[in-house]
Structure 1
Amino acid sequence: MYSCAHSKKAEPQKPEVGDGVSGVINNFLSVKENYIQKQDAGNAPEVAPAEVKNESAAAVDVDKAIQKIDVSSNAHVEDWIDFFARRDRERFMRMLERGSVYKEVVQNILIENGLPKELFYLAMIESGFVTHAKSRARAVGVWQFMQGTSKRYGLSTNGHVDERRDPIRATEAAAKYLRELYEVFQSWDLALAAYNCGEHRVLGAVMRGGTRDFWKLYEKGLLPKETRSYVPKFRAALLVGENPAQYGIDVKVPMVIYPDLEAVEVPSPVSLSEVARRAGMDVEDIKKYNPHLTGGMTPPQYDRYEVWVPTSQAKVLMPQVDTIPRMRVTTRVQRENFEEKYYHLVRSGDNLSNLARRYKQSVSHLKNINNLASNRIYPGQKLRISVKSYHVNTIVVQKAPTKKGRNLASGNRPRLHLYKVRKGETLHGIARRFGVPVKTIKDANRIARGQIFAGQTVKIPL
């Protein structure tokens, strides 16, 4: 059920071969060089204000270039269809039923990042949507990330937290990884193969085989046995999963689905039982929505951390967060920057297009999670770089709107939370607590100069 690890081998030498292989190699080297440059981005000199170009034309999204997934069948795919629909029927039904709980949130993250929503079935064949799934190779979570790969795409893993188990954060990371793989190979078959056994191994097969046609590499036996089965297995899962009745499978829709969720910023480390008590929830429910908090507390390497809480309880919890007592941790931990994990402070020369590339996501996703109506950004602006909330009754679509669904960001109609200002608080502090721009709060309350006073009630659009 699980993939082989996202293994990495030494980079092979570049031969001269045909069938578009040189393009794959150049894409690989470009993405690799880009990744190295990103690591040094913090030391890069700031561009002079005269060079700033944040015009709409600068934020050209590359999503249109991403092709749809080929779901055509062949003998290899038919073998897996027979396996899922007949020989492994009961287990496949259980995977579909478990997956239906997460389907909307996973597909919306994929869609917002310009990726085919059908990649939902990749997670299904990886883990069967068991959040605590762990392979023999020590890949963990819904998307079966190895620890090294998960760190590369922004997931925290240590004795107190394993964000590979968080279906929302892990899906964001998987979307980044899959976008990058597609940029390299320009083929979903090869991108999926690379997700299974590592991009270096697939690149080596492409160069040795002189082709970037997955099925030719399959016939030549240049890919690992498991990887040769992986792509037809994915296609079969997609075909059967999208048309279960056609294959005689009756999927029961679960009574429990993901609720509206808010990422509430709390001091860290704090115990989940105390968070649950303050929110008026059972601690088991808090753990259910935060399966990545494996130690029953928020991770001590951060001074603040965001906990997923149902929206109705989040409204109860938010006014109390500053009074939640921190736990004492005796073991030494390496401190990490909370702000850098979730936010980017816009500098001169930044535009949405280069920020989307830097954080491995789409321009539309950045705009959605920051409630941006246009592509304009300005120095000093703080941009959110990961999902803050998950709401019902709106949907993010690629072309035409549908009647119902779920949205990962704030939705088309922001919800208002009434907050009573306490002594010493500032607009910037309140905006940071609720994860919204200062301007959003000022506009909602018609505050001209940013002055607020203790006892004032302000509206917070969520």
Structure 2
Amino acid sequence: MMELKRIVGMGLVAGMCWLGTSEGARAQEVETATDVVEEQIQVEVMADSTVSEALVRERLAKLENIIPLRYHKVTHQFVEYFIYRKPSFVKRMLEQMHLYFPLYEQMLEKHGMPRELKFLSLIESGLNPRIISYAGAGGLWQFMPATGREYGMKQNDYIDERFDPVKSTEAACVYLKRLHRAFGDWEMALAAYNVGPGNVKRAMRRSGSSTFWGIYNFLPKQTRHYVPQFVAMTYLMHYHADHGIFAETPDYPMIFDTIQVSGYVNLHTFAKLSNISLDEFYKINPQVINTELPATTKEYVLRVPSHNFDFFQENRVAIWDSATKSPFQSRMLLTANGEETTDSAGAIKKVGGLVAAGDENEDPETIITRQTRKMYHTVRRGETLGKIASRYGVDTYDLKRWNHLRGNSIMRGKRLVVFKETAKNVSAPVQLVSDTKTKIKIRYHRVQPGDTLSTIAERYGINISRLKKINRLKGNTVRKGQKLIVG
């Protein structure tokens, strides 16, 4: 019997993995984004809650290294927004940064790029490797499907490597480096990453300028605020403590080993027999989007928690036999260094918990596009901060910050400030559910060139199996122009 050797990591971050939108520039010739950022950002705060302009200017000047961190009033507004209205976002980034920043820093150093680019992922995805924007951009670095394929990220009904932190970070470094070479300026490169190089060049022609602030007024509104957001997040990740924002429960990477699988694998069976929870498997293999791998799989690398590796090694023959549906066909599982053995890998039926933009991890740009109402709530008997926050759809941490509360206890009759965000340009009144028949609005998608069931399912945040079921599809192919029900 061949011996299975332990392979740590993939030569990156010593085998540590992650537990953990803007539309992104990967839609290269899109004129404007679907959700456009308001030109004026209204940040309503208490009278004594403002950040000194001189202080922000001074600190940005100290932080500035390779990428310019210029002060701008829009940058200041974003700083105040995240301090006073969305401190929970900064807190969450502080808690999750240990999962990805070591990888980012290693990749950026490998490519000879500024380390501060690691903060770009915060405004792209909120450090959620499985988030998908409404436009279909996915992953930590929000690649559109076509650009993901252009940069070597495999996408099919089983795997979407835009969600792989290692491969997507490598691709983001290559793409950003290419943009910097094209424009010779990091601010321009960031703008091009957001809206596409074609739109940046168009703004240059119309403005006659070759600098970001020179073309500022000729860019889509979303992109005008993209660079200021980056500067604001860079500021906050360095000076969060001075504004009373701290990580409470930081996450740290999981140590993993790698294996290679070939042939068909039932991922449910593999995970169960390997004593790996499905949730755990998907967290370290976010690129796996199905419950199985097909018979055409060839030496595909998967990650296995190190604490399960010995059990897996001892039981690999039984695990592999049970996880393979076609026993007549010989299949081999290889370790990452090419030694033969037997095994598979695990997944979950709901496509691994993909998150559509708009969920709790939505990116800052989406948040900023909303209007905010200042409301008041008088605490009633039996209410808790958690219940009140849930009622208004806000974070408990934010509710406490808005009202200068240190603990979790509140007294009956206390008047609380609540900043309630509502979708922009929604003028229709809210229709309450009554005893009459409820109308259900069906959403459709017209299949475009390059679409697959996988990319369509990801875009609308639904399971591939459900997509096939509601459209009565037997196979995995779709035709250009085909009309599919997606919700």
Deviation at 1:2, TM superposition (A): 1.8
Deviation at 1:111, TM superposition (A): 2.1
Q: Does 1:260 align with 2:258?
A: no
Q: Does 1:151 align with 2:149?
A: yes
Q: What residue number does 2:301 align with?
A: 306
Identity %: 31
Is the partner of 1:171 in helix, strand or coil?
A: helix
In the alignment, is the contact (CA less than 8 A) between 1:264 and 1:308 conserved in 2? yes
**Structure number having the greater helix percentage:** 1
Which one-letter code corresponds to 2:218 in the other structure? L
TM-score by length of 2: 0.51
Q: Does 1:182 align with 2:176?
A: no
Which residue among 84, 89, 96 is the counterpart of 1:86?
Answer: 84
Report 1:406-421 matches (<5 A). none
Report 1:8-157 matches (<5 A). 8-9=28-29, 68-157=66-155
Give the direction of change, closer, same or farther, for the CA distance of 1:3–1:99 in structure 2 (3 Å limit): farther
Which one-letter code corresponds to 2:219 in the other structure? L
Map Cα deviations across residues 233-279 of structure 1 (whole Å, 9 max, x no partner).
Answer: 0110111012211222122242x411233332122331233443565
Deviation at 1:191, TM superposition (A): 0.8
In the alignment, is the contact (CA less than 8 A) between 2:194 and 2:223 conserved in 1? yes
Q: Which runs of 5+ in 2 are unaligned?
A: 1-20, 31-64, 327-336, 339-487
In the alignment, is the contact (CA less than 8 A) between 1:272 and 1:286 conserved in 2? no
In the alignment, is the contact (CA less than 8 A) between 1:259 and 1:310 conserved in 2? yes
State how many pairs are aligned: 274
In the alignment, is the contact (CA less than 8 A) between 1:5 and 1:139 conserved in 2? no
Map Cα deviations across residues 201-254 of structure 1 (whole Å, 9 max, x no partner).
Answer: 112222332322101111xx2111100000000110111012211222122242
d(CA) in 2 for partners of 1:300, 1:180: 37
In the alignment, is the contact (CA less than 8 A) between 1:98 and 1:128 conserved in 2? no
Give the direction of change, closer, same or farther, for the CA distance of 1:199–1:328 in structure 2 (3 Å limit): farther
In the alignment, is the contact (CA less than 8 A) between 2:67 and 2:114 conserved in 1? yes
Which one-letter code corresponds to 2:255 in the other structure? D
d(CA) in 2 for partners of 1:2, 1:247: 26
Which residue among 212, 219, 236 is the counterpart of 1:240?
Answer: 236
In the alignment, is the contact (CA less than 8 A) between 1:134 and 1:144 conserved in 2? yes
d(CA) in 2 for partners of 1:208, 1:285: 50
In the alignment, is the contact (CA less than 8 A) between 2:24 and 2:143 conserved in 1? no
In the alignment, is the contact (CA less than 8 A) between 1:269 and 1:304 conserved in 2? no
Give the direction of change, closer, same or farther, for the CA distance of 1:185–1:137 in structure 2 (3 Å limit): same
In the alignment, is the contact (CA less than 8 A) between 2:262 and 2:295 conserved in 1? no
d(CA) in 2 for partners of 1:213, 1:73: 15
Give the direction of change, closer, same or farther, for the CA distance of 1:272–1:113 in structure 2 (3 Å limit): farther
Deviation at 1:176, TM superposition (A): 1.5
Map Cα deviations across residues 86-134 of structure 1 (whole Å, 9 max, x no partner).
Answer: 1222233223323333222222222222222222211111111122211
Q: Which moved more, 1:275-284 or 1:153-162?
A: 275-284
Give the direction of change, closer, same or farther, for the CA distance of 1:139–1:208 in structure 2 (3 Å limit): same
In the alignment, is the contact (CA less than 8 A) between 2:258 and 2:303 conserved in 1? yes
d(CA) in 1 for partners of 2:219, 2:85: 26
Q: Does 1:163 align with 2:158?
A: no
Is the partner of 2:76 in helix, strand or coil?
A: helix
Is the partner of 1:236 in helix, strand or coil?
A: helix
d(CA) in 2 for partners of 1:223, 1:156: 32
Deviation at 1:147, TM superposition (A): 0.2
Deviation at 1:70, TM superposition (A): 1.7
Rg larger for:
2
In the alignment, is the contact (CA less than 8 A) between 2:90 and 2:245 conserved in 1? no
Deviation at 1:153, TM superposition (A): 0.8
d(CA) in 2 for partners of 1:138, 1:173: 17
In the alignment, is the contact (CA less than 8 A) between 2:98 and 2:253 conserved in 1? no
d(CA) in 2 for partners of 1:328, 1:294: 19
Is the partner of 1:243 in helix, strand or coil?
A: helix
d(CA) in 2 for partners of 1:275, 1:175: 34
Deviation at 1:155, TM superposition (A): 0.9
In the alignment, is the contact (CA less than 8 A) between 1:71 and 1:235 conserved in 2? yes
Q: What residue number does 1:270 align with?
A: 265
In the alignment, is the contact (CA less than 8 A) between 1:3 and 1:196 conserved in 2? yes
Which residue among 166, 173, 178 is the counterpart of 2:171?
Answer: 173
Q: Does 1:212 align with 2:210?
A: yes
In the alignment, is the contact (CA less than 8 A) between 2:96 and 2:252 conserved in 1? no
In the alignment, is the contact (CA less than 8 A) between 1:266 and 1:321 conserved in 2? no
Is the partner of 2:303 in helix, strand or coil?
A: strand
In the alignment, is the contact (CA less than 8 A) between 2:28 and 2:197 conserved in 1? yes
d(CA) in 2 for partners of 1:177, 1:165: 16
In the alignment, is the contact (CA less than 8 A) between 1:272 and 1:287 conserved in 2? no
Is the partner of 1:122 in helix, strand or coil?
A: helix
d(CA) in 2 for partners of 1:131, 1:120: 14
d(CA) in 1 for partners of 2:201, 2:164: 30
Map Cα deviations across residues 183-207 of structure 1 (whole Å, 9 max, x no partner).
Answer: 2112111111111011111122223
TM-score by length of 1: 0.54
Q: Cα RMSD between the aligned structures?
A: 3.0
Which one-letter code corresponds to 1:184 in the other structure? A
Deviation at 1:143, TM superposition (A): 1.2
Q: Which runs of 5+ in 1 are unaligned?
A: 11-66, 330-341, 344-462
Map Cα deviations across residues 50-90 of structure 1 (whole Å, 9 max, x no partner).
Answer: xxxxxxxxxxxxxxxxx822223222211211111112222
d(CA) in 2 for partners of 1:185, 1:152: 20
Is the partner of 1:260 in helix, strand or coil?
A: strand
d(CA) in 2 for partners of 1:265, 1:95: 32
Q: What residue number does 1:40 align with?
A: none
Which one-letter code corresponds to 1:290 in the other structure? N
Give the direction of change, closer, same or farther, for the CA distance of 1:307–1:70 in structure 2 (3 Å limit): same
In the alignment, is the contact (CA less than 8 A) between 1:6 and 1:195 conserved in 2? yes
Q: What residue number does 2:200 align with?
A: 202
Which residue among 270, 290, 294 is the counterpart of 1:295?
Answer: 290
Q: What residue number does 1:228 align with?
A: 224
Deviation at 1:315, TM superposition (A): 5.8
Map Cα deviations across residues 318-361 of structure 1 (whole Å, 9 max, x no partner).
Answer: 687788357459xxxxxxxxxxxx99xxxxxxxxxxxxxxxxxx
Deviation at 1:137, TM superposition (A): 0.7
Q: What residue number does 2:247 align with?
A: 251
